[in-house]
Amino acid sequence: MAKGKKTIIKEIKKIDDEILLINGKEYVIVEDTENIETATTMKISSNGNRILRFEDEKKKATIDVKRDIDIVKYSFVDASNAKKFAKGYDKTVITKDDKREEIGNASSFKKARKIINTYISKDGVNFDPKNGKTTFYVTEEA
């Protein structure tokens, strides 16, 4: 679906608090609103999220395509390789001595970033002081 294109919603059903089924495709609710099932159209925003529009033009909700995103921790033995990896997350610098560990899974990039922030923010629950030096937390779409 191209940016700016409007889609008329024929069928909409809330599967649970986070998942919405629209015209046979599953979406993750990013910003909820009450009575989300009353949406009439869906439009793609400039950042790729979908915006639901309602009869009341002031009311809107944001959704995103349901994805399978892995949150991965890379731990480097050699600091110079870690520095190279930090520049563009180039996986060719990873050696057999370096570790790759899946630490979680998310259904949207917003949720994935929230999980990663617990590791990289100084006040995060799982704060890692080696983050950005020899340890990196990245997302990989499965």
Q: Which two tokens stand for residue 3?
A: 């940016």
The pLDDT value recorded for residue 32 is: 86
Rg for the chain, CA atoms, rounded: 19
User: What value does the mean pLDDT take over residues 9-26?
Assistant: 92
Query: Does residue 2 carry a pLDDT above 70?
Result: no
> Which has the higher per-residue pLDDT, 23 or 4?
23
In the chain, % of residues over pLDDT 90: 67
HSE (side-chain half, CA atoms, 13 Å) at 51: 15
The pLDDT value recorded for residue 4 is: 66
Write down the H helix ranges in the chain: 79-88, 109-120
- Which pTM value belongs to this model? 0.74
**pLDDT tens, residue by residue, 53-81:** 999 888 989 998 888 999 999 999 999 99
Query: Using CA atoms, how far apart are residues 102 and 109, in angstroms rounded to an integer?
Result: 16
1 pLDDT tier (thresholds 50, 70, 90): low
For residue 15, the SS3 value is coil
End-to-end CA, the chain? 21
Domain spans of the chain? 6-65, 69-141
Query: Does residue 117 carry a pLDDT above 90?
Result: yes
**pLDDT tens, residue by residue, 125-140:** 999 999 999 999 999 9
The pLDDT value recorded for residue 48 is: 78
Dihedral sign of CA atoms 11, 31, 138, 1 in order: positive
User: What value does the mean pLDDT take over residues 8-13?
Assistant: 93
Query: Using CA atoms, how far apart are residues 79 and 69, in angstroms rounded to an integer?
Result: 27
Query: Using CA atoms, how far apart are residues 81 and 66, in angstroms rounded to an integer?
Result: 34
CB 136 within 8 A of CB 86: yes
